[in-house]
Structure 1
Amino acid sequence: MSNDALISRRLLLRGAGTAMALPFLEAMLPQSALAQSGKGSAPVRMAFLFVPNGINMKHWTPEYEGALTALPSTLEPLAAFKNSINVLTGLSQYGAEAQLDGAGDHARSAAAWLTGCHPRKTDGANIKAGISADQLAALKRGHQTLFPSLELGCERGSMAGNCDSGYSCAYSHTISWRSDTTPVAKEDSPRLVFERLFKVENVNESAAARAKRQRYNQSILDFVKDDATSLQKKLGAHDRQKLDEYFTGIREIERRIEFLEKASKATGATAENFQQRFPTPGQGALDYPQQIQLLGDMMVLAFQADITRISTFMLADEGSGRAYRNIGINEGHHDLSHHGRDSDKLEKLRKINQYHTEQLAYILNKMQSIKEGDKTLLDNTMLLYGAGISDGDRHNHNDLPLLLCGKGGGAIKTGRHVRYADKTPMSNLLITMLDRFGVPGETLGDSTGKLQQLF
């Protein structure tokens, strides 16, 4: 970074035993660049949001190629963002196919989704897939931020055991692989994600400060108030407004985490007894809708603060049997995905799919609301949303349901339904995204070349 910036990109707000990361501010940019352009240039971010068990494709795929007009019912919650998304059809993950390995499509679909690799069929320690797109980006560009990447999920999952026809649970419970033998565990606790992202450890006093903050119900902002006041005096009006919005977001997330934890304690649901009392995912310690939105909000805040530029987020584990009672569905998601063309099951599956896109719309709205110069955070993001199975009853891995959201810094032409030839490798999309992210010339899994029509 040029030394004519007003403040350092690495600056932290400090207080008694606490240090907190700052959002991306114009004052962190070289003043010569600001004077020349009149505005700051924000970085490009990349996110991957995964949903399990396939999709009711009849209500997902737009009828026509080209400009998005009327959206199918599953995508209707995204109507407000129609000009910021692309629906991509025809892409496939050959690595998720059986290839003589028999059953295990759920495990393979998650393991291959971002790696493009066929996982080794084992439920032992000798697991093997491939490096995932997010971790390849983190390897090349992760040094630019406090955290190279962020891995989130709404179900804890396991990295051991047999979860799908002889495949290790590691395959079903993560989409992120640091190497071909090292899956990256995700975090499902909003409290732990918050503490990791927004409170930088002070080895001398962090434990005492955290205990004091929780004992007196204090915000992390109370501990850094003096430093924040001093900093604001150095900032321009736009940066002060941005900092105020960021602080408001922090306080709101703290309040919601506290409310969620109190509600969980009131039911006696804790992390320790979760598996014993609630063996079916979705019935336990955390309220699922609030959990999704809290984790989504923190992912967005982490992007805004430039704490990380890369994230994965599993809305549920592959093969999840979660029951969506919050929308009136008592049957497990996985069982419904094996619909056998039963109209009642297909309709319930459509409702689950639409519920998930509603959560995506919530996240996109947050991104759209954050201004970055003459663009928004959504404009400066590439967010891939979708599944590793199309029809859950057939367990097929071609013509996958995929949405590419955001404009990647202005380079992606959006608002379209783009159809590729059937069985075009999804890995081609991943290396195309990597190229735009500043990681050019890479291959991944079964990739054969960058996709056309996106830029």
Structure 2
Amino acid sequence: MNVSRRNFLKAQGAVLTLPFLPSLAHGKEGPLAGAKPSKKLVIMYLPNGIVRRCFFPGEEEADLPGFIGNFNADKTKNERRIPNKPGIGPLELTSTMQPLADIAGDISLVTGLERTYKNGQDVHAQGASCYLTSLSPEQAEAQGERHPNGRTLDQVIGDAVGGNTIFRTLEISCNGFTAPKEPIEFDNISWYGPDKIAPSIRDPQKLYDRLFLRDSYRAHVADVTDLVLADAQSLSRKLGRADQETLSQYMQMVRDIEIRIEKMQKLLVGVDIHIPKDAVLPRGEYIKLQTDLMLLAFQMGITNISTFMIGPERWDATLLYEGVFDKPVQHHSMTHNQRGEGYKELQKIDLFHMEQLAYLVRRMKETQEADGSSLYDNSLVAFGAGLGDGATHQYYDLPMIVAGKAQGQIKQGRIVRLKSGTLCSNMWLTIAQLMGLEIDSFADSDGVISDLWT
């Protein structure tokens, strides 16, 4: 039986890709036996900055920021920046990082990063749309490029290493609002090139359809797992015991995702018409569902590169952070009101976002690859924001957490303090090289972050 890495189960037009099953790989000497898993990359984006004093070690007693709007963000750099003393040490978990306590040995905090800020676009829009280009509109104009400028980091990496997957890159967003409240620059971090958006998928049902089914058949398929189950059972008889368990777990994961999608759809249908429907979509359930769909895409070899926006920049939209607040709140407006006890309420959203990172890392560690390693072992995760603080709109001291082992290339459980003002493009160049690209520069980079390597 000749089975490729992207083998399919098919029934009445429904197509479901399979996880890798070693017992079908032509035996111990077959062409797939002993194959090393591909590296995976996740770039996870946080909107609206972070409460700095609760996130960065040593800043718990820092002054609370007042509102600084529009193009004045970098004017605060000299008086507000707390200079880094470069070096490496054990990871210190601040109050905001407490949800990461059980995975502290699996992550590293990188401090001292900044992106060159130039006038020419709203600070939130530029924070998102230029995050993975590391070029401001002004810099792009000087280089003769239109804005949004050039191909983003994920697309550059996908060009080089994504050729053996169905999708070179996968763009995911957890912005449930269907009505456009802001221009696309506020809600996108991936671009094929100037003015060419790589559209992210917001709807879990649409993401599911794209990953598992031929689009033209979805209307005729009520439940794909029912259709392919008989085929899967027939295949199972050809598998070894370990692969039978893998296939069973895989089918259950797909079934579970369908049930969760159906649950969300029913929730929205039953919402009071006077309340914006998407505002009551539980954020935690929504983000975790999108995360699991991304991880299945990795597991099945559909893609190895994904961007993941936890939420859009600005968008004065009420969202339900279940288990955090009793009613929907506006994240962006809360970032502008950190004085007094305001920062403590805002920190609750930061803690919520840290829980989403913890969920991703745990799930990666639980997911086994063909050679017995975990998805986490073969992955690289960059978890950060385009703004250092939502009140000051600063482009310096950007938050960045790195997770994953990148196949033994990174040592975790550390804080890597860089010289203050280290360009974020240096981080992107470092990630590109860790992913196997042989490039010497990216955007305005002036070096790599060698301290990340083991």
Structure 2 length as normaliser, TM-score?
0.84
> Which runs of structure 1 show a deviation greater than 6 angstroms over 4 or more consecutive aligned residues?
33-36, 157-161
Given candidates 130, 139, 151, the residue that maps to 1:112 is 130
Amino acid at match of 1:146: I
- Work out the CA distance in 2 between the residues paired with 1:135 and 1:129: 13
Q: One-letter code of the match for 2:21?
A: L
Q: 1:360 aligns with which of 351, 357, 373?
A: 357
The answer as to 2:251 corresponding to 1:253 is no
Q: Which amino acid aligns with 1:337?
A: T
Name the residue aligned to 2:210: 196
Counterparts in 2 of 1:27 and 1:179: CA distance versus 1, 3 Å? farther
Separation of aligned partners in 1, 2:27 and 2:214: 28
Amino acid at match of 2:150: G
C-alpha displacement of 1:375: 2.3
Q: Which runs of 5+ in 2 are unaligned?
A: 59-84, 141-145
Q: Judging changes above 3 Å, is the alpha-carbon distance between structure 1 residues 314 and 246 closer, same or farther for their aligned structure 2 residues? A: same
Label 1:30 to 1:117 Cα distance change in 2 as closer, same or farther (>3 A). Answer: farther
Matched length: 417
Aligned match of 1:187: 201
Structure 1 position 292 matched with structure 2 position 296 = no
Match of 1:264 in 2: 268
Cα offset, 1:70, TM superposition: 4.3
CA contact (8 A) 2:152 2:190 kept: yes
- Give the C-alpha shift of residue 337 in structure 1: 1.1
CA distance in 2, matches of 1:88, 1:69: 10
- Is 2:25–2:31's contact at 8 Å kept on the other side of the alignment? no
> Structure 1 CA distance, aligned partners of 2:270 and 2:367?
35
Give the counterpart of 2:21 among 22, 25, 31.
Answer: 25
- Which residue of 2 is the match for residue 10 of structure 1? 6
The structural deviation recorded for 1:155 is 1.3
2:335 corresponding residue in structure 1 = 337
Aligned-residue Cα RMSD (Å) equals: 2.8
Cα deviation, 1:239-276, whole Å, max 9, x if unaligned, reads 2222221111100000111111112111266xxxxxx9
- 2: distance between equivalents of 1:144 and 1:358? 32
CA distance in 1 between partners of 2:90 and 2:427 (Å): 20
1:178 corresponding residue in structure 2: 192
Which digits, 9 at most, give the CA deviation of each residue in 1:95-130, with x for residues without a partner? xx1x243x61111111121111113699xxx74322
Aligned to 1:349: 346
Task: Write out aligned runs for 1:7-406 (5 A).
Answer: 7-27=3-23, 31=27, 40-63=35-58, 66-94=88-116, 97=117, 99-101=118-120, 104-119=122-137, 127-155=147-175, 163=182, 169-201=183-215, 206-207=217-218, 210-211=219-220, 213-214=221-222, 219-267=223-271, 278=276, 283-284=279-280, 286-325=281-320, 326=322, 327-328=324-325, 331-339=329-337, 341-372=338-369, 373-406=371-404
Any idea what SS the aligned residue of 1:175 has? coil
- Shift in CA distance, 144/61, structure 1 to aligned 2, threshold 3 Å: same
Matched residue SS, 1:244:
helix
| Contact 2:92–2:415 under 8 Å retained in 1 | no
Aligned partners of 1:439 and 1:24: how far apart in 2? Answer: 25
Secondary structure, counterpart of 1:42 in structure 2: coil
Shift of 1:378: 1.2
Q: 1:28 to 1:310 in 2, by over 3 A?
A: farther
Q: CA deviation at 1:8?
A: 0.9
- Supply the distance in 1 between the matched residues of 2:202 and 2:119 (Cα, whole angstroms): 34
Q: Using a 3 Å threshold, how does the CA distance of structure 1 residues 403 and 30 change in structure 2: closer, same or farther?
A: farther
Shift of 1:289: 2.0
TM-score by length of 1: 0.84
- Conserved 8 A contact 2:17-2:212: yes
Letter in 2 for 1:188: R
Structure 1: 5+ residue stretches without partners: 164-168, 270-275
* Partner amino acid, structure 1, of 2:332: H
3-state SS, counterpart of residue 221 of structure 1? helix
Cα distance, 1:14–1:54 mapped onto 2, change above 3 Å: same
